Amino acid sequence: MTAPNTIRRLNAASPNFGEQLDHLLSWESVSDDGVNQRVLEIIADVRTRGDAALVELTQRFDALQVTSMAELILPRERLQLALTRITPEQRKALETAAARVRSYHEKQKQDSWCYTEADGTRLGQQVTPLDRAGLYVPGGKATYPSSVLMNAIPAKVAGVAEVVMVVPTPRGEINEMVLAAACIAGVDRVFTIGGAQAVAALAYGTESVPPVDKIVGPGNIYVATAKRHVFGKVGIDMIAGPSEILVVCDGQTDPDWIAMDLFSQAEHDEDAQSILLSPDAAFLDAVAASIDKLLPGMEREPIIRTSLAARGALIQVSDMNQAIEVANRIAPEHLELSVENPEQWLPQIRHAGAIFMGRYTAEALGDYCAGPNHVLPTSGTARFSSPLGVYDFQKRSSIIHCSAQGASVLGKTASVLARGESLTAHARSAEYRIKN
Amino acid sequence: MTAPNTIRRLNAASPNFGEQLDHLLSWESVSDDGVNQRVLEIIADVRTRGDAALVELTQRFDALQVTSMAELILPRERLQLALTRITPEQRKALETAAARVRSYHEKQKQDSWCYTEADGTRLGQQVTPLDRAGLYVPGGKATYPSSVLMNAIPAKVAGVAEVVMVVPTPRGEINEMVLAAACIAGVDRVFTIGGAQAVAALAYGTESVPPVDKIVGPGNIYVATAKRHVFGKVGIDMIAGPSEILVVCDGQTDPDWIAMDLFSQAEHDEDAQSILLSPDAAFLDAVAASIDKLLPGMEREPIIRTSLAARGALIQVSDMNQAIEVANRIAPEHLELSVENPEQWLPQIRHAGAIFMGRYTAEALGDYCAGPNHVLPTSGTARFSSPLGVYDFQKRSSIIHCSAQGASVLGKTASVLARGESLTAHARSAEYRIKN
């Protein structure tokens, strides 16, 4: 048996399981008044002073000795140079992943549609790409080239003409893998700026940074707060919470594999959540033993240990039906169905960001290169939102083309309803189109 | 010529037209600290005290002498009763509109998809409806049965099992058309509550009100502020700004029709915006004359007059190409192409909520009964967002099912990339699936 403080054990049959689960899942982003105030000041500064503010804020926050905006622009040639500075193996891995991500996302592209009614009236929707998208890429510690692929490729597949990337380079540190990924993904322009100032620049534009229509990509509390504030001026993706995985296992997968799958989520950060459901109590024991055996060898052991103790759980369920019920209650970001015949459970799964089917589909495969996006709804938001996709970089315009006959018929209905709402200009505008 | 204070005249050829247009379009929602604070208190109260808080707040804000939550629930039979209390003509108009809206929206429904690769790996997306949606309907002055149809029908077409409507009934005032529309649209439950307290109840649930997954529908500043605060816990639709129309006319439509089309937008409220673009200066004069002729006869003349003076404009452009360029710059909620051959311009239009094509397609027809949704992106947000639709009530789960062979191949790429990001648990989880 594992030491009780490594990871908690729960049983769905216990009378207070509902409360225990609620407590385990509870996570609310803290909004910090101090952060909020500083972010508002930074946004106002960038709106007022443009490039000059960006240069100063980058000097201050990124400890960069720059004197002009020109030093904060990376030309396309610099991205190409990065391709030669990573290993051939890394370059091949990025290119393989990019090709698979592109191929999968091309199937998400939505087309305009239209139909004609008997009287000649035509109705439909015209689907168009955004003009310009902004991609925030964190610098410093957590530099994820895979995120560059996952955010930029759907935009380019959608047909976005210009993808603008911002990435801070604190103390001049540049991640060559990130630049190489940007090159492969087809990013059009890169600015080495970050934080709330980069978000403000993308939303409002400066002399050098073009304003974008939507900002996507992960970031720290300053970046997330800034994104909330510019929402409405531009589109944003979801504000992500900590990453989570829910593994459902029938007890027949190698417990070492499952332990490592749980670690792969827990290693992200101390708030990450790894939960395993199984009807097999002996299997839960075996996974607990694997956890204790494998943990000491892990490079990020302290983070994994903190995360598992704070937010992890091994939960015994009565059967697979109860497992699916709990999974729907959690609406996990990542759901791994490590069971014999995963297809049979799929129709019952109502809420999950991504579903990893069968014993071979480790979440890590999906994180990097299977094809689907790794930007997924967290903290139960899979109840109402979707993976990042091509559809996030397309929008629709309704098309209404009434024939003279169609307008005459519709005008009568519109007139009655408009008068029922006391909107008589609406009514009269419709009535002009009624034939005598 | 119209009196200069009825509606302003601009010319796109003037050197400072860009600035004039920016000024005309400028509109930022004011965030009010007082409102914000009261809304946060109301949300906290409803989360803590549930039904008891709802009853008290409804007594206070809606001047209703209720003593229990039971009095704030309208059973389905009450909705059916409403059908008999409106005129047969009104009932028929609602039913006609509902049938057309339903038929159009059925074409938006998105299906799950999946494909299998050569090695047996399967990838796709499972599309599912939200479990439960909440619909806010304003009470009092602005009661719009058409909004009930436009918000509830897409949810039901998506397959949302339960649509919960909230509508305040200040001093007991109930709008029978609104209830009849709810009945026709298939709304499942109705609570006569409103304001921030209704939004909080829908987001967090109370003893009587079930928590929903997404809240849609228009409301005042308290409702909009509450929606912003509960965003993340639940999904929300866009926070709408004032309504706007941009009419592009070649000068060959009856100027009375165009004047009335501009009025139909201006009558919504003092902040609404009506703009006309035409290459024909004499036609702009004729529309100005029609405005002055028709305005005195309008039921909502004061609102129309204020709106046109504050935010309206008749703008001369050099030709249709310039008109389309300005339209894309504005990204209007409603774009009326009152021209001879509107189809020819459609491919050039990049941003608009809805496009009303030809001389017969008055915006009012689309507002009520053509079929497309009247909930549209305002204030230039058509650059990155879409009409409300069935897709807003569906969400996607990625499906990844690797074959043993597929996992072995993908595992190698994932391993290289994970190690490049120093995420070694990810790497080792992938490596377990590589065949020796």
Given an 8 Å threshold on Cβ–Cβ distance, is B300 in contact with A424?
yes
Annotation: binding site of B for substrate: 243, 265, 268, 334, 367, 421, 426
Q: B334, B336, B351, B374: which one is catalytic?
A: B334
B13 and B78 together in one domain = no
Q: What is the pLDDT along chain A (436 residues), one digit of tens a residue?
A: 445 569 999 999 999 999 999 999 987 666 677 898 999 999 999 999 999 999 999 999 999 999 999 999 999 999 999 999 999 999 999 999 999 999 999 999 999 999 999 999 999 999 999 999 999 999 866 678 999 999 999 999 999 999 999 999 999 999 999 999 999 999 999 999 999 999 999 999 999 999 999 999 988 889 999 998 898 899 999 878 889 999 999 999 999 999 999 999 999 999 999 999 999 999 999 999 999 999 999 999 999 999 999 999 999 999 999 999 999 999 999 999 999 999 999 999 999 999 999 999 999 999 999 999 999 999 999 999 999 999 999 999 999 999 999 999 999 999 999 999 999 999 999 999 999 7
Q: What is the DSSP string of A278-330?
A: ES-HHHHHHHHHHHHHHGGG-TTHHHHHHHHHHH-EEEE-SSHHHHHHHHHHH
Domain count, chain B: 3
| A3 falls within a domain | no
Q: How far is CA B11 from CA B16, B21, B278, B279, B314, in A?
A: 9, 10, 10, 10, 8
| A320 falls within a domain | yes
Residue B225: phi and psi, rounded to 5, are -65, -40
| B355 falls within a domain | yes
Find chain A residues with C-beta within 8 A of B104's C-beta. Answer: 123
Q: Is A267 a catalytic residue?
A: no
A40 and A83 together in one domain = yes
- Candidates B43, B365, B386, B435: best to mutate against A (most CBs of A within 10 A) is B365
At CA A21, angle to CA A20 and CA A25, rounded to 5? 120
CATH assignment of the domain containing B330:
3.40.50.1980
Q: B105, B244, B333, B351: which one is catalytic?
A: B333
Q: Report ipTM (2 d.p.).
A: 0.94
| A359 falls within a domain | yes
Of A192, A214, A236, the one marking the end of a domain is A236
Beta-carbon contacts of A265 under 8 Å, excluding residues fewer than 6 positions away, are A243, A244, A245, A272, A273, A274, A307, A334, A363
The pLDDT of residue B26:
87
Provide, rounded to the nearest whole percent, the portion of chain B with pLDDT above 70: 97
Find chain A residues with C-beta within 8 A of B346's C-beta. Answer: 126, 399
SS3 for chain B is CCCCCCCEEEECCCCCHHHHHHHHHCCCCCCCHHHHHHHHHHHHHHHHHCHHHHHHHHHHHHCCCCCCHHHHEECHHHHHHHHHHCCHHHHHHHHHHHHHHHHHHHCCCCCCEEEECCCCCEEEEEEEECCEEEEECCCCCCCCHHHHHHHHHHHHHHCCCEEEEECCCHHHCCCHHHHHHHHHHCCCEEECCCHHHHHHHHHHCCCCCCCCCEEECCCCHHHHHHHHHHECCEEECCCCCCCEEEEEECCCCCHHHHHHHHHHHHCCCCCCEEEEEECCHHHHHHHHHHHHHHHHHCCCHHHHHHHHHHHCEEEECCCHHHHHHHHHHHCCCEEEEECCCHHHHHHHCCCCCEEEECCCCCHHHHHHCCCCCCCCCCCCHHHCCCCCCHHHHEEEEEEEECCHHHHHHHHHHHHHHHHHCCCHHHHHHHHHCCCC
A212 and A353 together in one domain = no
Find chain B residues with C-beta within 8 A of A433's C-beta. Answer: 257, 360, 362, 365
A268 is in an annotated binding site: yes
Q: What does pTM read for this prediction?
A: 0.95
| A345 falls within a domain | yes
C-alpha A44/C-alpha A155 separation (Å) is: 28
B417 and B374 together in one domain = no
Find chain B residues with C-beta within 8 A of A389's C-beta. Answer: 396
A345 and A406 together in one domain = no
Q: Between A12 and B141, name the one with better pLDDT.
A: A12
Sole residue written with tokens 């689960």: A21
B214 and B252 together in one domain = no
Of B236, B254, B286, the one marking the end of a domain is B236
A143 interface with B at CB cutoff 8 Å? yes
Q: What is the mean pLDDT of chain B?
A: 95
Q: Is A333 a catalytic residue?
A: yes
A306 interface with B at CB cutoff 8 Å? no
- Considering only the beta carbons, identify the residue of B131, B425, B426 that sits closest to A350: B131
CA distance B293 to chain A (A): 14
Whether the predicted pLDDT of B278 surpasses 80: yes
A401 is in an annotated binding site: no
A318 is in an annotated binding site: no
C-alpha B124/C-alpha B397 separation (Å) is: 9
The pLDDT of residue A1:
45
Q: How far is CA A114 from the centre of its chain?
A: 31
The pLDDT of residue A30:
64
A202 and A274 together in one domain = no
B37 and B100 together in one domain = yes
Beta-carbon contacts of B203 under 8 Å, excluding residues fewer than 6 positions away, are B43, B134, B211, B212, B215, B230, B233, B234
DSSP A122: E
C-alpha A102/C-alpha B218 separation (Å) is: 38
A219 and A316 together in one domain = no
Given an 8 Å threshold on Cβ–Cβ distance, is A108 in contact with B89?
no
A85 and A141 together in one domain = yes
Nearest CA in chain A to B419: A90
Find chain B residues with C-beta within 8 A of A385's C-beta. Answer: 235, 395
Of B175, B207, B236, the one marking the end of a domain is B236
A273 interface with B at CB cutoff 8 Å? no
Residue B408 burial by Cβ neighbours in a 10 Å radius (0-12, 13-18, 19+): middle
C-alpha B434/C-alpha B436 separation (Å) is: 6
B349 and B374 together in one domain = yes
Structural domain of A61: 33-120+128-236
A334 and A297 together in one domain = yes
Residue B334 structure tokens: 């409603």
Q: Helices A145-158 and A88-106, interaxial angle, to 10°?
A: 40
DSSP A251: S
The pLDDT of residue A239:
79
| B63 falls within a domain | yes
The pLDDT of residue B155:
98
The model's confidence at residue B36, banded by pLDDT at 50, 70 and 90, is: confident
Render pLDDT for B208-256 as a digit per residue (tens, 0 to 9). Answer: 999 999 999 988 889 999 998 898 899 999 878 889 999 999 999 999 9
Render pLDDT for B374-391 as a digit per residue (tens, 0 to 9). Answer: 999 999 999 999 999 999
A407 interface with B at CB cutoff 8 Å? yes
| A38 falls within a domain | yes
CA distance A67 to chain B (A): 31
* Cβ–Cβ pairs < 8 A, chains A and B: 371
Rounded to 10 degrees, the C-alpha dihedral A420/A422/A426/A429 comes to 90
| A395 falls within a domain | no
The pLDDT of residue B1:
45
Find chain B residues with C-beta within 8 A of A417's C-beta. Answer: 90, 93-94, 97, 145-146, 368-369
